Amino acid sequence: MLRMLALALIAGLVLSIASCGAKLGQIRPEDVQASIRDAEKAIERAKAADAERYAYPRLSRAEDLLRRAREAFARKEGVEAMSLAYEAMAEAKAAEVEAWRAKKAEESEAALKEKEREIKELRAQLEEARSEIKSAQDRIEQLSERISRLERERDTALSELERLKEVERESERAYERVAELQDRIDQLTAQLEEVQRRYSEAKAESERIINRLREQVAQAKSELEAAKREADRLRKRVREQAAAYSRRISKLEREKARQLAIARAREYAARKRAEELESYPPAPSEEEVKEASSFVEGWYLEWSRGDLASHLLRYAPDAQFIKVTVRGGRESEERLSRSEFESELRKLAARSWKLAGKEFNPRGLIAR
């Protein structure tokens, strides 16, 4: 009876590990600490990128996840701690990218506003130069009309002087009038020359301003196009990084689900173990333990040597075999016939299975 119970217990353990042992693994404290450190570094990088200003909600969530990861680690909940650390790291990286994108957008917008301000100032200068040119042109036209009028008056005076040549008094007044008009003409001619000189200078200056404005407008347009291309490149890069982080987050969620399934499988195995122990008869005597240990040791040595034929003979004819499978976090049991059990055991032997990678102790196994 003791031999049959031992063999049934070991068969259940073999099939449980064969079904999910390859996925269980163990989370080491140093691995969890490394994940927490990675999350801390990611948060520091996000802060360095001004995430506190541009992406505070994501940064705050990352810090909260990191705090919860530390608390879970302190409670020795390795799976939960590592999952929270990964989520904190992903949120911190997303905050870094969001802050970087917002900062670049702000810089681009400021640069565009500055260029628009410069263009507006240059346009105002151009309008002012045009206004000065128009005023100078109007002044030239006025002076030209006055000169023409004075020239006509001078001609009239000369004609009158010829007509009154014979009259001395009239001629003297006429000559005086001609002299006055000539002085006035000379003054107006000097003014006209000054206005023409100023007009030429204003025209040359306006041409220089217009050329400079054209160059600055062309440069501003070129810089604006470059800024637009840079903004498009940054948006494309941000979309690609967002997609990459989304895939990373999905992977972390799948890993979390796998760890949860492993934890449930362990809980199930522990529960089954407790149920089996409760159904056991009173503890065997020392002689019975020695006898069972010798039997189980032979069973294990035959398995280790690959002697499946001798190994299978040690199972009782009426032994019961149960296969436990965990998929997607759900457990299922399946009763196997002896032939099905032998087939599963042969597949397991082909993968060079060892009992959880630990030293085999048949006495400790039977004495529990």
Question: Which residues does residue 327 pair with via DSSP β-bridges, in sequence order?
Answer: 330
Name which of 68-77, 192-201, 236-245 the model is least confident about: 236-245
Range of the domain at 173: 112-231
The residue ranking higher by pLDDT, 321 or 41, is 41
- Helical (H) or strand (E) element with 331: strand 330-336
Q: Is residue 196 part of a domain?
A: yes
Question: For residue 155, is it within any domain?
Answer: yes
**25 — alpha (psi -120 to 50), left (phi > 0) or beta?**
left
Asked if the structure places residue 154 within a domain, the reply is yes
Give, in order, the Cα–Cα distances in Å from 172 to each of 12, 160, 169, 175, 176. 147, 11, 5, 5, 6
Residue 245 scores a pLDDT above 60 = no
Query: What are the phi and psi torsion angles at 50 (to 5°)?
Result: 65, 35
- Establish if 333 belongs to a structural domain: yes
40 pLDDT band, cuts 50/70/90, is very high
Same domain, yes or no, for 227 and 281?
Answer: no
> 265: pLDDT confidence band, cut at 50, 70 and 90?
low
What are the structure tokens assigned to 24, written together?
A: 């269980």
Residue 198 lies in a domain: yes
Co-location of 194 and 285 in the same domain:
no
- The verdict on 132 and 226 lying in the same domain is yes
Residue 151 and residue 207 in one domain: yes
Please identify, among 177, 210, 231, the residue that sits at the C-terminal boundary of a domain: 231
Q: Which of 81-95, 221-235, 299-313, 345-359 has the lowest mean pLDDT?
A: 345-359
Q: Are 54 and 38 in contact (CB under 8 A)?
A: no
328: alpha, beta or left, given left = phi > 0 and alpha = psi -120 to 50?
Answer: left
Residue that wins the pLDDT comparison between 62 and 170: 62
CA-nearest of 282, 302, 274 to 362 is: 302
Domain boundary residue among 170, 198, 231? Answer: 231
Mean pLDDT rounded to a whole number for the chain = 74
98 within a domain of the structure (yes/no): no
| Both structure tokens of 109 | 């917008």
Contact indicator for 42, 348 with CB cutoff of 8 Å: no
The average pLDDT across 193-201 equals 80
Does residue 24 belong to any structural domain of this protein?
A: no
